[in-house]
Structure 1
Amino acid sequence: MSLHAARAVAPTPLDLTDLTDLTRRVAAEVLAGEHEVHVDPENRWYRRLVGDDYVDVWLISWAREKAAELHDHAGSLGALTVVSGELLEQRWVAGTPGRPAGLRERTLRAGRGATFPLGHVHEVVNTSDTPAISVHAYSPPLTVMSYYAVEQGPAEQGSRLRRTRSELTRGEPEPLPIVSPSLSGATTA
Structure 2
Amino acid sequence: MTFSGTARPDLLAIAGRYAADPDRWPVRPRFDPVDRWYARIAERPDHEAWLLTWLPGQETELHDHGGSAGAFVVLSGALVEETVAGGESRGAVLVAGAGRRFGTHHIHRIVNRGGDPAISVHVYAPALRSMTRYHLDARGGLRVAEVARAGVAW
With normalisation by structure 2, the TM-score equals 0.87
Give the equivalent residue in structure 1 for 2:115.
129
Structure number having the greater helix percentage: 1
Tell me the distance in 2 between the aligned counterparts of 1:51 and 1:13. Answer: 19
2:137 pairs with one of 145, 151, 165: 151
Q: What residue number does 1:70 align with? A: 62
Instruction: Kindly state the Cα deviation for residue 42 of structure 1 after the two structures are TM-superposed.
Output: 2.2
CA distance in 1, matches of 2:32, 2:125: 27
Distance 1:14 1:90 in 2: 25
Deviation at 1:13? 5.0
**Regions of 4+ moved over 3 Å:** none
Q: CA deviation at 1:162?
A: 1.2
User: CA 1:8–1:124 in structure 2 vs 1: closer, same or farther (change >3 Å)?
Assistant: closer
Question: TM-score of the superposition, structure 1-length normalised?
Answer: 0.72
**1:102 offset after TM fit, Å?**
2.1
Alignment match, 1:9? 4
For 1:47 and 1:148, how far apart are their aligned partners in 2?
A: 23
Residue 83 of structure 1: how far off its partner (Å): 0.3
- Establish whether residue 116 from structure 1 lines up as the match of residue 102 from structure 2: yes
Q: 1:50 to 1:140 in 2, by over 3 A?
A: same
2:147 aligns with: 166
- Identity of paired residues, percent? 35
Secondary structure, in 3 states, of the residue corresponding to 2:20? helix
Aligned to 2:51: 59
Structure possessing the higher relative contact order (Cα contacts under 8 Å, 6 or more residues apart): 2
Structure number with the higher strand fraction is 2
1:185 corresponds in structure 2 to: none
Partner of 1:105: 91
Q: Structure 1 8/148 Cα, relative in aligned 2: closer, same or farther at 3 Å?
A: closer
- Alignment-derived partner of residue 124 in structure 2: 138
Is the 1:13–1:54 Cα contact (8 Å) retained in structure 2? no
Partner SS, residue 61 of structure 2: strand
Aligned length: 151
Tell me the distance in 2 between the aligned counterparts of 1:162 and 1:9: 30
1:82 matches 2:74: yes
> Based on CA coordinates, which of the two structures has the bigger radius of gyration?
1
Kindly indicate whether the alpha-carbon contact (under 8 Å) linking 1:84 and 1:109 is maintained by their aligned counterparts in 2: yes
Taking only aligned residues, the RMSD between alpha carbons, in angstroms, comes to 2.1
Tell me which amino acid in the other structure corresponds to 1:86: A
Structure 1's unaligned 5+ residue stretches are 1-6, 96-100, 154-158, 177-189
Deviation at 1:29, TM superposition (A): 1.2
